[in-house]
Structure 1
Amino acid sequence: MSREHDCADYLEQIVYFLDNELDTADCAAVRVHLDECGPCLEKYDLQRTVKTIVARSCSERAPDGLMDRVRVQIREVQIQITEQR
């Protein structure tokens, strides 16, 4: 198996690794590979950073004014759909 193919297999597993969705043996294998492969470690770090930023962004609350405008637009669309029936 070529190194590129080997890396591709591990890069697919990184998402599951970050979400703690791998069994113990697979986690250990991914850790060993990341310890030995600088390019994969860089990609793992990037994925981890993106995941952290997205999680932080999703926990912030939208301003009340924005939420009110979105609710009004949703209600307007619901009314339009009801009228079309």
Structure 2
Amino acid sequence: MSCGNPHETDCSDVLDRVYAYLDGELDDDWCGDIRRHLDECGPCLQEYGLDKVVKQLVAKSCGCDPVPEDLRARVMSRIEQVRVEMVENIEAERLTP
């Protein structure tokens, strides 16, 4: 994904790492790169906000229960499908005169 604007860190790199960022699994350099990118990129910030809300809802609903790996894989697959659809919609809107 790209919002069409130049960024120091590419949109696709940010979105590929957003879950690791939310989980606190990235080093300080990546965290800084992602924070700076989200500060300047509206589409990625919107995507990050959606991901953050979904993650918080799942954490609240599931508590400390372990999540079956097949369920996690299905949820991640569906989130990726939605992300791709959103990117396609954003790009289609940009190309529509």
TM-score normalised by L of structure 2: 0.56
| Distance in 1 of aligned mates of 2:53 and 2:26 | 20
Structure with higher helix content? 1
- Indicate which of 2, 5, 8 corresponds to 1:4: 2
1:6-21 pair list within 5 angstroms = 6-21=10-25
Q: CA deviation at 1:53?
A: 0.4
TM-score normalised by L of structure 1: 0.63
Bigger Rg, structure 1 or 2:
1
| Cα root mean square deviation, aligned | 2.2
Q: CA deviation at 1:59?
A: 2.2
| Distance in 1 of aligned mates of 2:15 and 2:40 | 14
Aligned to 1:81: none
Q: Which runs of 5+ in 1 are unaligned?
A: 61-85
Aligned to 1:76: none
| Distance in 2 of aligned mates of 1:33 and 1:59 | 31
| Distance in 2 of aligned mates of 1:25 and 1:59 | 30
| Distance in 2 of aligned mates of 1:47 and 1:18 | 9
The alignment status of 1:44 with 2:48, answered yes or no, reads yes
| Distance in 1 of aligned mates of 2:26 and 2:14 | 12
